Structure 1
Amino acid sequence: MRSVKVLIAAGAASLLSSGAFAADMAIASPPPAYYPPPIEDFGGWYLRGDIGMTNTRGKLFAPAYDDVSTLSVNQLGHGFTGGTSFGVGVGYQFNSWFRADVTGEYRSKVLFSGTDFANIAGLGPISDVYSARFSSWVAMANVYVDLGTWWCITPFIGAGVGGAFNQIDGLQDLGSIPSPGVGSVNSASYFANAANKTSFAWAAHAGLAYKVNQNFTVELAYRYLDLGSAVTGKGDTFDGILGGRGRPFQFNDMTSQDIKLGVRWTCCDVPAPAPAPLVRKG
């Protein structure tokens, strides 16, 4: 019986000694968890809409000056009234600073007016008072560089190329020509038919974008737009003396400085890749 008690006491002592040794051992920390790098949130496909105020400029060339010996021409008051543009487009945000879109817009009809005073050899001074209407459709491919974001506002610059479908209609030329009689003046009226012309167009952009939320951005932008040239159809005088074969008028160096308010809606975000599985080493 005594030997049994001795064995039990020795076993208990051994267990206590092992427990104390295990308590003194350092517990190894688990290996650090692996997480995938954060995914940059830059958007993807977007739709856009714009409305703007247009300020069109252009130089009128009257073909009559080619037919006579013109000594001098003074052009006074040539200009267009202000107008409005309406545009839509689709684009893609490639990363946090570069995007591109394709746009189409209608530029509302504006009125042209102006007066020429010319000195013609053999006739003396004559005057022409012009009026016409101008409108255009423009399609552009544009690229933009976003220059950083501060307080949700992103300044940007951009450029675009495309084409302009320009239309002139309703051109009238009311001329006053001196006659041989002293103090007498003859009046002549010329009317040109409507015509369209497609020209190469290019643009430069600059503006500010405000990100309202993840999918909606508002833009305020300035654009310089070169529309190429426009031309009228053939025409005739009021008395029909030209038989509808009058030469067309042409508008050269058509440009516009526009202020636009636009919105962008990110409609199709780029899907984020699935996160990598959690990996523990050891």
Structure 2
Amino acid sequence: MKRILAFASVLAVLSAPAYAADFVEPAPAPEAVEPLPTGGWYLRKDISYDFMSSDGVDYKAGRDNASFSDVDLDDTGNLGFGVGYQINDYFRVDKTFDYMFSTKFRGSTKGGGSNDGSACDVKCVSTDASSFKAFSLMANAYVDIYRWGVFTPYVGAGLGTTYINWGDLKNTACAAGGGGCDDTVTHKGKDSWRFTYALMAGTSIDINCQWKADVGYRYRHVDGGSMFGRKLNGGPGSDKGFDIHEVRSGIRYQFGDACPVAYMPPAELPAEQPVFK
């Protein structure tokens, strides 16, 4: 009898509703949103005010070598265009074309006179005037140092070439201390390609996702070359090159969707509690 009761008790327990601990399967974690790539092509346009400085002028006076005693260049302006590529957050490169507006040259020479009975017979001082235009082709590289809000300071350097087109040089020699002047002599201007290097520093300013303003400073050095030809026992002459200090402003357009998307880490799900049923 006891065995029958025990067996019946077991059946009752098995047939009664049982408590089972079933766990709810967790939902899959959302995928992280990756930032958009920062690289891409861009176009640029720049304008600058250029402070010009000549390194001097050498010329032939008969068979002798001589140098201008005074040289001066007017300040001028520059208009530039370029295409570049933003490689990553810190490094970009571009190629630029710059057109320099005409700048006037003034100089003077001192000599021992022509000894030919002219006004400038014993000791003379000349006044010389010319001008030149130029354009440059440059390859440049920049390091964007650090993004601080909408501002990104940068430094850069460039190498390239500059085409200098000198106008005619007008030379007027006068007797030192008065006594008259000779007729003005015109020397044919020369043109040449010159090696050029540049150093830059400035700040990019984000306007929106595609547009950036750019303000900065650029130093360019243009090597020397031919300046004017020979005329009446004077010349030819060559300039020793130029130093150009530029205050620049410009704008850049970045192709593509340049708006960064912030990284969103996966949401932390609360620990699932067992549900009993």
Instruction: Determine the C-alpha separation between the residues in 2 that align with 1:246 and 1:118.
Output: 11
Sort the Cα spacing of 1:15 and 1:120 in 2 relative to 1 into closer, same or farther, 3 A: farther
Greater RCO structure (CA 8 Å; 6+ sep): 2
Sort the Cα spacing of 1:135 and 1:12 in 2 relative to 1 into closer, same or farther, 3 A: farther
Q: Which runs of 5+ in 1 are unaligned?
A: 1-9, 237-241, 273-282
Instruction: Determine the C-alpha separation between the residues in 1 that align with 2:244 and 2:24.
Output: 73
Cα RMSD of the aligned pairs, angstroms, is: 3.3
Match of 2:84 among 88, 91, 95: 91
Q: Which has the higher helix share?
A: 1
Sort the Cα spacing of 1:201 and 1:62 in 2 relative to 1 into closer, same or farther, 3 A: closer
SS in 2 for 1:17: coil
Question: What is the aligned partner in structure 1 of residue 53 from structure 2?
Answer: 57
Alignment of structure 1 residues 216-231 onto 2, 5 Å? 216-231=211-226
Q: Which runs of 5+ in 2 are unaligned?
A: 1-9, 116-120, 261-277
Match of 1:48 among 44, 47, 60: 44
Match of 2:254 among 266, 269, 274: 266
SS in 1 for 2:17: helix
- 1:141-183 residue CA offsets vs partner (Å, 9 max, x unmatched): 00000110112111100000010001110311111246xxx97
Does the alignment pair 1:111 with 2:104? yes
Q: Size of the alignment, in residue pairs?
A: 247
SS in 2 for 1:151: coil
Sort the Cα spacing of 1:173 and 1:61 in 2 relative to 1 into closer, same or farther, 3 A: same
- Give the ranges of 4+ consecutive aligned residues of structure 1 lying more than 6 Å apart after TM superposition: 10-13, 120-123
Instruction: Determine the C-alpha separation between the residues in 1 that align with 2:33 and 2:238.
Output: 60
Tell me the TM-score normalised to structure 1 length: 0.76
Percent identity over paired residues? 23
Alpha-carbon shift at residue 219 of structure 1 (Å) = 0.5
Question: What is the aligned partner in structure 1 of residue 156 from structure 2?
Answer: 158
Aligned partner letter, 1:252 = K
- 1:114-156 residue CA offsets vs partner (Å, 9 max, x unmatched): 2233457986532111111111010000000011011211110
Question: What is the aligned partner in structure 1 of residue 189 from structure 2?
Answer: 194
SS in 1 for 2:69: strand
Conserved? CA contact 1:130–1:171, under 8 Å: yes
Instruction: Determine the C-alpha separation between the residues in 1 that align with 2:219 and 2:54.
Output: 14
Aligned partner letter, 1:254 = F
Aligned partner letter, 1:83 = T
SS in 1 for 2:26: coil
- 1:8-42 residue CA offsets vs partner (Å, 9 max, x unmatched): xx999756522xx12xx152542652635623541
Conserved? CA contact 1:69–1:120, under 8 Å: no
SS in 1 for 2:235: coil
SS in 2 for 1:204: strand
Sort the Cα spacing of 1:49 and 1:218 in 2 relative to 1 into closer, same or farther, 3 A: same
